[in-house]
Structure 1
């Protein structure tokens, strides 16, 4: 890992204005990603995973307020950049693969036009050069007959093919970091495996950093070097992948892993009771306390402190060691 991370985030928070007051969708997230590193972000829907990365990309609506102690990419302070300066970076050095390819691709323009738009804007290629590079990109992501596919509209492509086009667009300017937001959610199982294999291969071959937002812990185990676990907008644990699967320190992480079918010991698959809290039902103390079997009265009333790196930076009053809660006596 490089000494200076490619992406460095400290205390990132995102709030949205609502009729009931501000709602904090992301609360105090830290993240470092180096060149050539694959970091996974996991957690249930509503955990703020996508919102945090959209904040990095500058793609949140005007109702969002983004604050951070540091939000730096490749030496640039992303919060201090003007919109024009940010547009020079987004799409060229920092790219994103979105969750729904059919809604992310513009239905009014061909595949070739949409790939070529980034090449023209960021690299200044002429029409002939854009065509050559677009064909090369489609071939790189495994699309057959790339010359013919350039003339296709998004509705003429399958879900898997559309996702490959999205990956080609993200790779167009040879970015230094790619954020992949649940890139296989809308695809069937066989296509999911192909897309993930493609992403990981391209990431390794090109030496780019990759942030993978996913629900699939099996994919995380096979591909990621480090894992960030998000819950209700907070980053509750961060560990190297092997350590997290061997000895999770936050009760939420342990519950996620216990719900994996391959870890289930009985006939009934374990589940986590309840739902992720929203605007109106956020607990006073630990946000996971209503669903946590280790919760104490202190957990329900006092926000938890963050543990040290030896416990995976777990945001918990009772971090687990070997599956056993360690009661912390220091003041929060």
Structure 2
């Protein structure tokens, strides 16, 4: 097995607030292999985007980022100087942000904005950059790319702007692309086109892709491996093929049960309660207040990950292949 392109151990992100520190990401372990499509799923507030923004170095000054290690292709991201980070981010590691209309600068044409990335990271001259911009717009499926390059963001549709964001991220041929909800607020037809585009580009270029999404249908169809995140922690990691048939963490099981296509009665399944915030984080398992199988031990003691056969489920009583809880050895919980 090849060495991971991205290797993160114990990533934590804390934000300073008026009422103290808020733990947005809590000890996340993550690895991405070359050419792998890793999907990260979980409710809003689970810390998915924050963890990826920490990798990009795009968090505000109120954030404190710590980790045992955070490496890209063996390079320590925690010790990069500003100059080294600027040379890496945008070139070898790129990101498609969640809101294309707010991520693009309304004062400049989309062609100029794509060209800015090329000017920063490549030795191309002005005419070469212009030709590369047109080629990128054509590559992401934008019709009449010469005219569109001269357009401002407000003159393009949401789907077009999302394609522009993808073109900008791909401009310098990154080895790792992070796509944060790339199909949000797009109609179903455009969603399918965007995902087909990302998949095609991944297979053609060999880049690794981290996909942050709420769309479990996209995950089932496209992902190689899935990380389930809850309240800032990774609660399960499995290949996509087995996660949907044998979820082992009660939270993963509840997420899948809430899918409309899995509804067996007149009402859809729902997960009661909300993701814990700054002032209501449980002492034990973070999912315990919402878990149907939680007991007193779950509420009092933090769980440790189960073994790989159980998806590394962060649970005292992970579920077996039949969806029934297994009581693990609780003496090792901490």
Q: Aligned residue for 2:103?
A: 104
Q: Aligned residue for 2:152?
A: 153
Is residue 2:213 matched to residue 1:214?
A: yes
**Superposition map of 1:114-263 within 5 A:** 114-263=113-262
4+ runs deviating over 6 angstroms: none
Q: Aligned residue for 1:71?
A: 70
What's the CA shift for 1:262?
1.1
What's the CA shift for 1:166?
0.2
Is residue 2:330 matched to residue 1:330?
A: yes
Q: In structure 2, the residue corresponding to 1:79 is in which secondary structure?
A: helix
Q: In structure 1, the residue corresponding to 2:53 is in which secondary structure?
A: helix
* Rounded Cα–Cα distance in structure 1 between residues aligned with 2:171 and 2:79: 26
What's the CA shift for 1:4?
1.0
What's the CA shift for 1:330?
3.0
**Superposition map of 1:7-18 within 5 A:** 7-18=6-17
* Rounded Cα–Cα distance in structure 2 between residues aligned with 1:160 and 1:202: 17
Q: In structure 1, the residue corresponding to 2:265 is in which secondary structure?
A: coil
Is residue 2:33 matched to residue 1:34?
A: yes
Count of residues paired in the alignment: 331
* Rounded Cα–Cα distance in structure 2 between residues aligned with 1:200 and 1:182: 15
TM-score by length of 1: 0.98
* Rounded Cα–Cα distance in structure 2 between residues aligned with 1:174 and 1:249: 37
Deviations 1:237-260 (A, max 9, x none): 000111111110100000000011
* Rounded Cα–Cα distance in structure 2 between residues aligned with 1:227 and 1:329: 26
What's the CA shift for 1:3?
2.0
Runs of 5+ unmatched residues, structure 2: none
Deviations 1:136-185 (A, max 9, x none): 00000000000001110001000000000000001100000000000111
Is residue 2:46 matched to residue 1:47?
A: yes
Q: In structure 2, the residue corresponding to 1:139 is in which secondary structure?
A: helix
* Rounded Cα–Cα distance in structure 1 between residues aligned with 2:249 and 2:297: 16
TM-score by length of 2: 0.98
* Rounded Cα–Cα distance in structure 2 between residues aligned with 1:124 and 1:105: 24
8 Å contact from structure 2 (residues 316, 330) kept in 1: no
Runs of 5+ unmatched residues, structure 1: none
Q: CA RMSD in A?
A: 0.8
What's the CA shift for 1:189?
1.7
